[in-house]
Structure 1
Amino acid sequence: MNLKKVHKKGASSAGCTLFIETLPMALVQDIINIIEEIAPSGWAEKWDNAGLQIGSLRQPVSAVFIAVDPTTSVLERAIEANTQLIITHHPLFFHPLRQLSLETSTGKIITRAISKNISIYSAHTNLDMAPDGVSTALIERLALKDVQILKEEQTPPPLHNKPVPIGYGCIGTFKTPITFKQFITKIKTDLQLPYLQMAGKAPARVRKVAVCGGSGSQLIEKAHKSGADLYITAELKHSHARMAEELNFCALDIGHFHSEKFGMMALARLIRKRLEKQDLRVSVIEDRTEKSPLQLIK
């Protein structure tokens, strides 16, 4: 609780002193601290550029905008929504800038964000590996139970006194097996898929499912060895599609964007809960307009 001291003049010359309760103002640093609780930056891959992309840690925040990619259209919607912080999954900067040109999309985003006092933050591979991350969100959308990590990674020692189970991908099961046709109908509905691609052989029935949001093509053999009936991921490479074919194993490519958007929606919910616990009055807005850059031409 914050108490603000206010002097009010009364009938007497002394007047009176009032104490008014005020909610603490949130800063960019406060929001980052919350994300660090969910997906510590130390979990990110060494090559990754997760973290603050643009802005100031001391910037006041009354509204946060959540999206998958830091694009010009996302930025404009964030400005329209009167937000001060954009949280994306993919970083704005994957490689060091050699020049800042206003003619490039990145240059335009940088200058536009700065001119509007908007900070941009990325939670990337650290969110991919988090227990409440991208793959877990897919598992929850499909209502799979008995969840396990597909490929475990070690928690960096400085971050936690006790090891925390983190890694890429998840495995879950249905209480009752369903037919492959029923599963395809379910996945297209639950994950709002306009289309999907398949490699390998479709199973007759589906009970155990392996998933990995994002580019999880390289985990196809591990998914097969886990005993899963099929594997859901994105950006399935040609060689891995052939591997599925040789293994008589089913691999489904649902597209990169669709495999990660629910992870960002889950992150928005987690941030809201923590803001409420800390009595920080910040609006968390999800970009429901954002779409995959890839469209199916029929």
Structure 2
Amino acid sequence: MSVTVHALARALEEWAPLPYQESYDNAGLQCGDPTMLVQGVLIALDCTPAVIDEAVRRGCNVVVVHHPVIFQPLKRLTGATEVERTIMRALRYEVAVYAAHTNLDNVRHGVSRHLAEKLGLSQLRVLDPKPGLLGKLITYVPPAHAEAVLQALYAAGAGQVGDYHDCSFRLAGTGTFTPGPGTSPAIGRPNQPETVAEQRVEVLLPLHRQAAALRALRQAHPYEEVAYELIKLENQHQEVGSGMIGELAEALPVAEFLARLRQRLGVPVVKHTAFAGPIRKVAVCGGAGSFLTRKAVAAGADAYVTGDIKYHEFFAPEGRLLLCDVGHYESEQYTGELFQALLTEKFSRTFAVLLAETPTNPVRYDF
């Protein structure tokens, strides 16, 4: 089976929807022909000229990364910067580059969850769920057709509440209408008032699935004219947001918890604040996560693990938790495993999905 770059991108975006990226981000296809057939995929945290060279050497014409190559708008391609050289190299060798960044950070099964699982945390939940991503879709259906309409809406992405699916609310009522001249009503006749039994059907809906859900509704509904309401909700989406929080199987002294970080993440050093301990509830955020420190404190975390913490930001916990900086790269280093697992499952035996061997961490440690 042949797979295009476009089909590959669609699979990644079903998993980490682009509407979930932050406003400053630039996730998605960075360069390349969407109609090109995928011969192989190389996965890396960052894309550099050396990563493009490795992709070519190993027979891969797609590179999938976490960090976008093009983050700020490019005004020219002259090879003056590493970003320009990377894109020019990709274009020269016809290598497509795709990035899933904060959209992958913000899904429950994304970067922070993987980090939390590496540290042995359980009972995981999103640390800072995002509001304004959900809507409520309401429609009115004859009872005999309610189940078919609901199944169509579920298939389009509606009716998911946390780990529960096929969720809806139904209320019996009475609908009235008069078909106009030239109509072909499913019930009744033109110019004759009708009173029919109907069910009011309600489902939750991720707003980025709105168009698909409305198409499904119109196709499955028996009426010529479909009445519906779509209401944007301010509810937090418990499956989408920044960071994760969970618990260790047993509380650890601070020294043992820090040793766990070094061992499980393979980091030579951990920068951290003073804290008496013990450590049981732990919050994490892959990448630069100092903006969540107060959220971690408010959630009752004993420790917060992230990267890129500035000097003055270490004062923020005020002794209420152990704030740990393990490094930006180090907190996201296992992201490639997420990409590889998804693409291998989705496109098994279609093309190779390889982890890059080229080191891309720009930080070095000397002792």
Structure 1 residue 27 displacement after superposition: 1.0
SS at match of 2:361: coil
Q: 1:250-294: per-residue Cα shift (whole Å, max 9, x none)?
A: 110011111112123222212211223xxx612111124424211
Aligned to 2:260: 186
Point out where structure 1 has 5 or more consecutive residues left out of the alignment. Answer: 1-23
SS in 1 for 2:67: coil
Q: Counterparts of 2:268 and 2:360 in 1: how far apart (Å)?
A: 11
For residue 285 of structure 2, what is the aligned residue in structure 1?
212
The letter of the residue matching 1:211 is V
1:4 corresponds in structure 2 to none
Task: Tell me the number of residue pairs that the alignment of Structure 1 and Structure 2 aligns.
Answer: 270
TM-superposed CA distance for 1:297, in Å, is 2.4
Give a deviation string over 1:32-57, Cα, whole Å, max 9, x none. 11111210111111221111111011
SS at the partner of 2:341? helix
Amino acid at match of 2:101: H
> Distance between the aligned counterparts of 2:92 and 2:77, measured in 1?
15
Q: Deviations over 1:214-238 (max 9, x none)?
A: 1110111110111111100111122
Could you tell me which residue of structure 1 aligns to residue 40 of structure 2?
A: 63
CA deviation after TM superposition for structure 1 residue 143, in Å? 1.7
The one-letter code sitting in structure 1 at the alignment partner of 2:43 is I
Asked if 1:297 corresponds to 2:366, the answer is yes
Which has the larger displacement, 119-128 or 254-263? 254-263
Which residue does 2:309 correspond to in 1?
236
Distance in 1 between residues matched to 2:87 and 2:129, nearest whole Å:
36
1:264-275 mapped onto 2 (5 Å cutoff): 264-275=336-347
Q: 1:158 — aligned with what?
A: 207
Deviation at 1:72, TM superposition (A): 1.6
1:90 paired with 2:90, answer no
Kept in 2: contact 1:178–1:207 (CA 8 A):
yes
Matches of 1:39 and 1:164, distance apart in 2? 15
TM-score normalised according to structure 1 size: 0.85
2:359 counterpart letter in structure 1: E
TM-score (norm: length of structure 2): 0.70
* Cα separation, partners in 2 of 1:236 and 1:63, compared to 1, 3 Å: same
Residue aligning to 1:45: 22
Aligned counterparts, 1:57-136, within 5 A: 57-136=34-113
Matched residue of 1:131: which SS? coil
For the 8 Å contact 2:65–2:97, the answer to whether it is kept is: yes
| Contact residue 105 and residue 111 of structure 2 kept, 8 A | yes
Q: Secondary structure at the match of 1:171?
A: strand
Letter in 1 for 2:288: S
Q: Which residue of 2 aligns with 1:257?
A: 329
What amino acid sits opposite 1:182 in the alignment? Answer: E
Alignment correspondent of 1:14: none
Residue equivalent to 2:225 = none
Amino acid aligned to 1:260? E
- Distance in 2 (alpha carbons) for counterparts of 1:239 and 1:224: 17
Contact 1:130 1:166 (8 Å CA) reproduced: yes
> Match of 1:223?
296
Bigger-Rg structure (1/2):
2
Give me the identity figure in percent: 31
Deviation at 1:86, TM superposition (A): 0.4
Counterpart amino acid of 2:282?
V
Q: State how far apart, in whole Å, the 2-side matches of 1:179 and 1:197 are.
A: 17
Letter of the 1:297 counterpart: D
Q: Which residue of 1 aligns with 2:355?
A: 286
Where structure 2 has 5 or more consecutive residues not aligned to the other structure, the ranges are 135-205, 214-236
- Where does residue 270 of structure 2 map in the other structure? 196
Corresponding residue for residue 168 of structure 2: none
Shift of 1:164: 6.3
Q: Distance in 2 between matches of 1:291 and 1:102?
A: 19
Partner of 1:5: none
Offset, 1:147: 0.2
1:176 to partner: Cα distance: 1.5
What SS is found at the alignment partner of 1:61? coil
CA RMSD of aligned residues (A): 1.8
